[in-house]
């Protein structure tokens, strides 16, 4: 009886060991089988294929930098000429946004930034040759060519000097008020001194370049004094007379902008004026004894050249 009990206990122990081994093997097998599934669980699921004949929307790409979506785009660095006050301009173009322009001093310190178009930056690079100047003072020399209306007169001309105050509110437009002093011989051979006061409007055809052609027109008021070497019935005082004129003029010229504060100008103009003083009807300026015709109208040309100081 005791021997049977020992055999029964030994058989029971062997069965328990075998069962334990079977459970461990089964667990290992399950772990090996499920490990690929666990590894693929961390991977994103692939998009299911689009069935034939169906309309599927393609997935949107993820941003390369989701934390800073506005960073990126083209960056342009504009290097100025090497001067004492040189600045560096950086233009950053972000997709879907206006360009950002940042200026840096030569020390590396940012002095400001702005957003705008590239055309604004281009305008800054091509600065007008006029700079910021608005007012100008012109000093000039001038010559007047008069018609020769009397026999024996061959040197009818005058010369002199003048000055103008010029206001240029915008580059294509300027207003000029000038005063000249002229001396010479007039169309009748009389010695003449005259002082014209003129006002003109100048229209610049290429207003922001170094060479600036212009057209101009205006009006003038002139006071003149003439003297004869012998008695003349056409002069109110016999040997002298004073004339007053109202006239208009027009011409073309060219302005050479040597610097933003200095320019050289040359122009030519034609003018027509009418004598309007109190003695004009009784003692006309021009009289033809052959035809008996009288006139107080003068048609002539003028050349001028000078220098203008701008501020």
pLDDT, one tens digit per residue, over 200-247 is: 999 999 999 999 999 999 999 999 999 999 999 999 999 999 999 999
Instruction: Answer yes or no: is pLDDT of 22 > 60.
Output: no
CB 241 within 8 A of CB 200: no
Q: Which tens digits make up the pLDDT trace of 73-108?
A: 555 555 555 555 556 666 666 666 666 666 666 555
State both tokens at 218: 């205006």
**What pLDDT sits at residue 150?**
87
Confidence of residue 122 (pLDDT cuts 50, 70, 90): very low
Q: Give the ranges where the chain is alpha helix by DSSP (H).
A: 2-41, 118-125
The domain defined by 135-310 folds into: Porin (2.40.160)
Beta-carbon contacts of 245 under 8 Å, excluding residues fewer than 6 positions away, are 196, 220, 221, 222, 223, 224, 273, 274, 275, 276, 298
- Say how many C-beta atoms besides its own lie within 10 A of residue 57's C-beta: 6
Average pLDDT over residues 19-47: 49
Highest mean pLDDT among 29-33, 76-80, 150-154, 198-202: 198-202
Contacts of 233 (CB under 8 A, 6+ apart): none
- C-alpha to C-alpha distance for 295 and 284, rounded to whole angstroms: 6
> Global pTM?
0.61
Burial of 150 (0-12, 13-18, 19+ CB in 10 A): middle
Could you tell me whether strands 100-105 and 110-115 are parallel, antiparallel, or unpaired per DSSP bridges? antiparallel
Domain residue spans of the chain = 74-125, 135-310
1 contact partners, CB below 8 Å, separation of at least 6: none
């Amino acid at each position: 009886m005791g021997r049977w009990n020992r055999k029964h206990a030994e058989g029971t122990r062997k069965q328990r060991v075998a069962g334990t081994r079977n459970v461990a093997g089964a667990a290992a097998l399950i772990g090996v089988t499920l490990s690929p599934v666990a590894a693929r669980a961390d991977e994103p699921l692939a998009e299911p294929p689009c069935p034939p004949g169906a309309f599927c929307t393609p997935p949107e790409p993820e941003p390369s930098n989701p934390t800073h979506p506005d960073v990126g785009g083209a960056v342009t660095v504009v290097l100025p000429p090497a001067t004492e006050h040189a600045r560096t301009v950086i233009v950053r173009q972000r997709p879907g946004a206006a360009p950002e322009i940042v200026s840096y001093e030569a020390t590396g310190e940012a002095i400001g930034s702005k957003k705008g178009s590239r055309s604004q930056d281009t305008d800054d690079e091509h600065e007008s040759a006029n700079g910021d100047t608005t007012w100008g003072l012109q000093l000039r020399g001038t010559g007047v060519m008069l018609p020769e209306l009397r026999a024996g007169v061959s040197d009818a001309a005058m010369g002199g000097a003048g000055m103008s105050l010029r206001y240029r509110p915008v580059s294509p437009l300027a207003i000029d008020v000038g005063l000249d002093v002229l001396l010479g011989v007039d169309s009748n051979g009389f010695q003449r001194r005259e002082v014209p006061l003129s006002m003109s409007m100048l229209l610049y055809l290429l207003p922001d370049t170094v060479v600036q052609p212009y057209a101009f027109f205006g009006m003038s008021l002139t006071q003149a004094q003439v003297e004869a070497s012998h008695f003349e019935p056409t002069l109110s005082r016999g040997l002298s007379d004073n004339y007053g004129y109202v006239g208009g003029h027009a011409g073309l010229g060219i302005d050479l902008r040597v610097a933003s504060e200095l320019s050289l100008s040359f122009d030519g103009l034609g003018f027509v004026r009418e004598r309007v003083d109190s003695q004009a009807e009784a003692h006309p300026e021009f009289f033809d004894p052959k035809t008996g015709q009288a006139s107080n109208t003068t048609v002539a040309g003028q050349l001028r050249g000078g220098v203008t100081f701008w501020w």
